[in-house]
Structure 1
Amino acid sequence: MLEYKNLDIKNFRYPGEFERQQAVIIGWPEMAETIEGYSLHENFAKLIKIIVEETPEVKVYVNSPNGSTLPSCEKALKAEGIDLDKVIFTTYPDGSNWTRDYGPDIMVDDNGNMVLAHTRFNMYGQSKPEGELSTKCYNFGAHLALELGCNDHRNSNVISEGGDKEFNGSGVLIALRDTEVNKRNPNMSTEEVENELKRLFNLKKVIWLEKGVYEDELTTSGVLDYIDGVPVYRSSSANGHTDEFCRFVDKNTVILAEVTEEEAKSLNSLKITKERLDAAYEVLKNETDDEGNPLNIIRMPVPEAIYVKSKPGDWINDTWAQRYDEAKDVLDDGTPMPYGEMVMQPALSYCNFLILNDIVIAQQYYEEGRPEIIKEKDNQAIEVLKKAFPNRKIVPLISTALNIRGGGVHCATKNVAKADNN
């Protein structure tokens, strides 16, 4: 892949996800289950089935990072009745399976040209860019760009993740200062990071929100909540992404999660999250799009808390305390590193939906035996999405296994816009 030479970058932009898409990339997870009884392979296969059946015009790339995982992938897809001929399989090395964060960020112009905007990656601040896993993820983006026919690229030394960048398609980016500056690029000022993001993505402005939801802090940052005296831990998280709580649905409309006063009284984690979401609202209500129009803000409820128990032998339990470059004896809040059985909260979010042409894939949580309040919240979230996307079909997906892994429907996918969108 060669640095672009003859293309005028002023004509390129990063499209909004609500625009027409040509492809979606998914990384197949090596682990079959996150916790016993929660099949990650089945959850991924159901997600792929929705995309294949509901958006046949979109190319679906499924990457199995080594040949040994391809049979399990094909088996799971066949079990869901998916025609394998409708899937493009790749086998590039991959340091994770959250393609949203390090998959190809492809900019387009109106003449069908594409350019890869290539940032560095450091495993969510837990490794170095030159580390083995970081390098695999970084190279993955370049490999998949080539698969898509994108042969030109622009490089940047800034460290960033796709899940923390929300584009409106017209030169506006929403991102978290705590993530993009404080945690990923601590040697750079906000102005330096902003200027580099503007250069790389040809942006007109960056809207900085301070912090993400408390539940999306780094897994080993500490105890999330105490329930009847029992500590609850985050099952896994990426340490601060906008796509967990704030999303563009058109060029000047955003969906923003909301915690009620009553909910904030029920859990300490929700109290902290409410403070952060209220602060985000104060920023957004005073912001504009690239033409100076005020942003429209639609509020989205947060899911009812769901807890799962993990034990030694479960993938999420055995890998929970691992750091990419560093082992720790205590959590960041000073509490002892837990071992044995653990109570965990998955990465729950109604904002981690995927927009893909004429559909929106929505995360849902109610299953038989769970409290009715979860069903009520699910229905409320669906109604919000119907309001935000009146011309799209809302397709629900029970995403608990994905969320236990630490991400969601949006995190697990990387969509690529058509290069001739107008």
Structure 2
Amino acid sequence: MNRPFLPAEWEEQAFIQLTWPHKETDWNYMLDEVEECYINIAREILSRERLIVVTPEPEHVEQVLAKAGICLDNLTLVKIETNDTWARDHAFITTIDEDGNAMLNDFCFNGWGMKFAANLDNQINKKLMKEDLLQGKYVSRLNFVLEGGSIESDSDGTLLTTAECLLSDNRNDTLSREEIEKYLKSAFHVEKVLWIENGFLEGDDTDSHIDTLARLCPDNTIVYVKCNDKDDIHYSALKAMEDELFQFTNCRGEHYRLLPLPFPDAVYDENDERLPATYANFLIMNGAVLCPVYNQEENDKEALKVLKSAFPDHEIIGIDCSPLIRQHGSLHCITMQYPKCVQK
């Protein structure tokens, strides 16, 4: 009998979920611009695997995708009311039991520590289950606050996360670090939790989600953001994070192969506030990796090169995510993958 586990993102997938922007979200002031970004992402997903789109306006989404000339054979639209669009953090986190069956874990999403409204988004998973699209057992974990962007798995017993996020106020602050680690090991069937104590991105609302800083990759590899500018506000914290990564080992006691991603040139919004641009927020799909790019020729090119080294058998595709960082997220933040066993 196999052991239960939390699959890595590079395991074979059934589909990817997007939660589509609309006029009642914070995207309203730039809806056309961000929707074009979603269309570009949907095009790449639909050419390779199924896509489920959660939206209060399914007819509109179907129309704009068809108008863009995209084949809709792999598309499923589900009409559900939403607060916002950050599927990575409100969607199911799927584990696989010892018999190979999907366990659809529904954690509490509270708007990153009650910073933003999440009353509708926190109900999406239960409503999605009623649509009979997912094969798996529903597991309520609504007594524990956790976002998908805060954890990384290697499928082999190791979980990577950040102390800044998981130990933050207004999430699970009644629990100690030891209690939270015990819960993570039990819920995700892991033997080892690697806690990053350093690293941040200015403008980030998530309290340093791991998927903005460092990502587990195949063959015992970690790609991570590295800042070389000693005058940049991020330099010291990211250097300290790098030092931590060099000390980390997996469950077998092996050190990781580390691949540094470039640090994007500073990007600012209309109020001159710095935005959390990062190349670490990439999405792994069946046969491809979608990498966020920011119209920075040299940095974008280097990021794609690093990811090709980490995923030599995948096609590496850059997606302009300049619109996404205007709301302080990027490509990985708006997507959630589901493993093959969830396929009906």
Instruction: Indicate whether the TM-score tops 0.5.
Output: yes
Amino acid at match of 1:203: V
1:61 to 35, 44, 52: 52
Shift of 1:288: 1.2
Equivalent residues of 2:22, 2:31 under 8 A apart: no
Structure 2: how far apart are the matches of 1:161 and 1:106? 12
Deviation at 1:34, TM superposition (A): 5.9
Question: Which residues of 2 match residues 19-418 of structure 1 at below 5 A?
Answer: 19-31=11-23, 39-53=33-47, 55=48, 58-64=49-55, 66=56, 69-109=57-97, 111-126=99-114, 133-145=117-129, 147-155=133-141, 157-183=143-169, 184-217=171-204, 237-250=205-218, 252-260=220-228, 263-265=229-231, 270-271=232-233, 273-309=234-270, 342-366=271-295, 374-418=296-340
Measure, in 2, the Cα distance between the counterparts of 1:157 and 1:281. 33
Deviation at 1:35, TM superposition (A): 5.2
Q: Structure 2 stretches of 5 or more lacking a match?
A: none
- Which secondary structure state, in structure 1, belongs to the residue aligned with residue 164 of structure 2? helix
Q: SS at 2:168's partner residue?
A: helix
Deviation track 1:286-345 (CA, whole Å, cap 9, x = no partner) reads 121122211111111111122342xxxxxxxxxxxxxxxxxxxxxxxxxxxxxxxx2343
Tell me which residue corresponds to 1:222: none
Q: Does structure 1 retain, via aligned residues, the 8 Å contact 2:276–2:329?
A: yes
**Matches of 1:248 and 1:343, distance apart in 2:** 33
Q: CA deviation at 1:72?
A: 2.9
Q: 1:360 to 1:110 in 2, by over 3 A?
A: farther
Alpha-carbon distance change, 213 to 181 in structure 1, aligned in 2, over 3 angstroms: same
1:178-217 CA-to-partner distances (Å, cap 9, x unmatched) read 1111232222111011111111111111111124423244
Identity %: 26
8 Å Cα contact 1:216/1:240 also seen in 2 = no
> SS of the counterpart of 2:206?
coil
Q: Give the 3 Å change call, closer, same or farther, for CA 276–358 of structure 1 in structure 2.
A: same
Taking the aligned partners of 1:37 and 1:151, their CA distance within structure 2 comes to 36
Distance 1:157 1:257 in 2: 33
C-alpha distance in structure 1 between counterparts of 2:97 and 2:219, whole Å: 17
Tell whether 2:4 aligns with 1:12. Answer: yes
For 2:166 and 2:269, how far apart are their aligned partners in 1?
31
- Alignment partners' CA distance in 1, 2:122 and 2:219: 29
The Cα of 1:152 is off from its aligned counterpart by: 3.6
3-state SS, counterpart of residue 80 of structure 2: coil
- Structure 2 vs 1, CA of residues 418 and 251 (structure 1 numbering), >3 Å: closer, same or farther? farther
Please tell me whether the aligned partners of residues 13 and 108 of structure 1 are also in contact (alpha carbons under 8 angstroms). Answer: yes
Letter in 2 for 1:177: A
1:118-173 Cα shifts (integer Å, max 9, x gaps) = 32221111269xxxx43432322233355312234252622111111111111211
CA distance in structure 2 between the partners assigned to 1:63 and 1:212 by the alignment: 32
The 2-side partners of 1:161 and 1:112 are apart by: 24
Instruction: State the Cα distance separating 1:71 from its structure 2 match.
Output: 3.3
Cα distance per residue 1:348-394 (max 9 Å; x no partner): 1111110102100011121xxxxxxx211111111111111111101
- TM-score, normalised to structure 2's length? 0.90
RMSD of aligned residue pairs (Cα, Å): 2.3
User: Does structure 2 retain, via aligned residues, the 8 Å contact 1:300–1:384?
Assistant: yes
CA displacement at 1:107 relative to structure 2: 0.8
- Closer/same/farther in 2, CA of residues 380 and 134 from structure 1, 3 Å limit: same
Q: Which moved more, 1:206-215 or 1:18-27?
A: 206-215
Q: Is the 8 A contact 2:7 2:154 kept in 1?
A: yes
Give aligned pairs, total: 337
SS of the residue corresponding to residue 214 of structure 1 reads coil
Give the Cα separation in 2 of the matches to 1:349 and 1:135: 28
Secondary structure of the structure 1 residue equivalent to 2:252: coil
Q: Which residue identity does 1:201 align to in structure 2?
A: F
